[in-house]
Amino acid sequence: MDAGAQYNPRTVEEVFRDLKGRRAGMIKALTTDVEEFYQQCDPEKENLCLYGFPNEQWEVNLPAEEVPPELPEPALGINFARDGMQEKDWLSLVAVHSDAWLLAVAFYFGSRFGFDKTDRQVPPPPSLLPTLRGSESVKYLKGQPKDEEEGLDEEEEEEHGDTLCGACGENYAADEFWICCDICEKWFHGKCVKITPARAEHIKQYKCPSCSNKRARP
């Protein structure tokens, strides 16, 4: 828990990076590290909490002893309900409470700053629950209007600036919708493969036209 308490973001961009790092850590606990997470949540132990850290790590631990705590506390006693529910339902419950905690931490940091009103806006991350249920297996990037989310646009441009559309060969632009093929992992303009943001929300596994047309080998 010390790793999370010592970190003190001082700008909007740092708060958002903190939020993304903590969320990534909690996703690990609920997906790739779920067996270890399940074992650590022993109902015979005291009130346990799931913490996510800015370095994308997670930890199951007792709540902070100081009152009030330095950071908002996540849901207490997540271990008590483990054996009284279906595992999937229990993990979903933990995910919902983790969403609430992530936003509480972000607003806690944000409330300490004297930003202008427009600078206080830290966009909430996608919920952990769809990730847990597998509906985020499709990767896509939804463009923002040029006059909104400028900080996020610049970050996306840096991360995906060298990405080329697998259909038209043009570079990534933050104001356009893109979708990634889950088979060949190539990125495509939504307009090039006739996929809209609304339609992408309901696709569990996206196959580009090329991968869809490949015949299975005998």
| Per-position DSSP letters for 176-197, written without gaps between them | S-EEE-TTT--EEEHHHHT--H
Give the mean pLDDT of 68-80: 88
Q: Rounded to whole angstroms, how far apart are CA atoms 64 and 71?
A: 9
Percent with pLDDT over 70 in the chain: 71
Global pTM value: 0.54
Which of the four pLDDT bands, split at 50, 70 and 90, describes residue 40? very high
Residues paired with 52 in a beta bridge? 58
Q: What tens digit of pLDDT does each residue of 82-96 get?
A: 998 899 899 999 999
Average pLDDT of the chain, as a whole number: 78
> What mean pLDDT do residues 199-214 have?
82
3-state secondary structure of 150: helix
Return the higher-pLDDT residue of 116 and 169. Answer: 169
The residues, ordered by sequence, that sit 6+ positions from 6 with a Cβ below 8 Å of its Cβ are none
Residue 110 — very low, low, confident or very high, per pLDDT cuts 50/70/90? confident
**pLDDT surpassing 90 at residue 61:** yes
Q: Please report the pLDDT score of residue 218 as a whole number.
A: 43
- Across the range 146-157, mean pLDDT stands at 50
Taking alpha carbons only, the member of 25, 198, 5 closest to residue 128 is 25
Asked if 81 contacts 90 with a C-beta cutoff of 8 angstroms, the reply is yes
Alpha-carbon distance of 154 to 167, in angstroms, equals 24
Q: Where are the beta strands (DSSP E) in the chain?
A: 49-52, 58-61, 140-141, 178-180, 187-189
3-state secondary structure of 16: helix
Are 135 and 204 contacting, i.e. CB atoms less than 8 angstroms apart?
A: yes
Residue 216 has pLDDT above 50, yes or no: no
Average pLDDT of span 9-33:
90
Contact 56/21 with Cβ under 8 angstroms? yes
Instruction: Kindly give the residue spans of alpha helices, DSSP state H, lying in 57-134.
Output: 87-110, 128-133
* Amino acid 2: pLDDT: 47
More confident residue, 128 or 103: 103
- Segment 192-203 shows an average pLDDT of 84
